[in-house]
């Protein structure tokens, strides 16, 4: 499949447990790798380190079988995180 660029430029709502779903379930079947950069806005040094990003992959729709494959703090430098695709769907939460 050809590469796809998806940009999420939105405000997020944090639930009572401090979690915010950023992407919902994204179909990634047919891809070998995913690259992800989280850049908080406004670019405030005090805000970025307090945001923890969770990347989940596997079967996320209907009956689920998935796991968090990467967990990292957000940074203001736009660092790109690359992961091998290990399932048909992924989601990103903050």
pLDDT per position as a tens digit, 23-59: 889 999 999 999 998 877 665 555 555 678 899 999 9
Quickly list DSSP for 22-73: SS--EE-TT-SEEEE----SS--TTTGGGPEEEEEEEE-SSS-EEEEEEEEE
HSE-CB of 66 using CA atoms within 13 angstroms:
22
- In this structure, is residue 16 part of a structural domain? no
- Residue 45: per-residue pLDDT: 59
Is 46 inside a domain boundary?
yes
Is 65 contained in some domain?
Answer: yes
Are 69 and 91 a contacting pair, CB within 8 Å? no
User: Is 41 among the domain residues?
Assistant: yes
On whether residue 9 sits in a domain, the answer given is no
* Among 9, 11, 41, 4, CA closest to 26: 4
| Domain assignment of residue 65, given as a range | 29-93
The pTM (predicted TM-score) of the whole model is: 0.81
13 occurs within a structural domain: no
Is residue 18 in a domain?
Answer: no
Domain count, the chain: 1
Q: 35 lies in a domain?
A: yes
Rounded to whole angstroms, the Cα distance separating 35 from 50 reads 22
């Amino acid at each position: 499949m050809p590469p796809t660029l998806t940009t999420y430029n939105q405000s997020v709502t944090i639930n009572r447990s401090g979690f915010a779903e950023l992407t919902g379930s994204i179909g990634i079947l047919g891809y070998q790798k995913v690259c992800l950069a989280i850049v908080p806005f406004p670019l405030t040094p005090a805000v970025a380190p307090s945001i923890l990003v969770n990347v989940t992959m596997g079967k996320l729709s209907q009956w689920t079988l998935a796991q968090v494959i990467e967990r990292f703090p957000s940074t203001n430098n736009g660092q790109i995180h690359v992961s091998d695709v290990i399932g048909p769907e992924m989601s990103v939460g903050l």
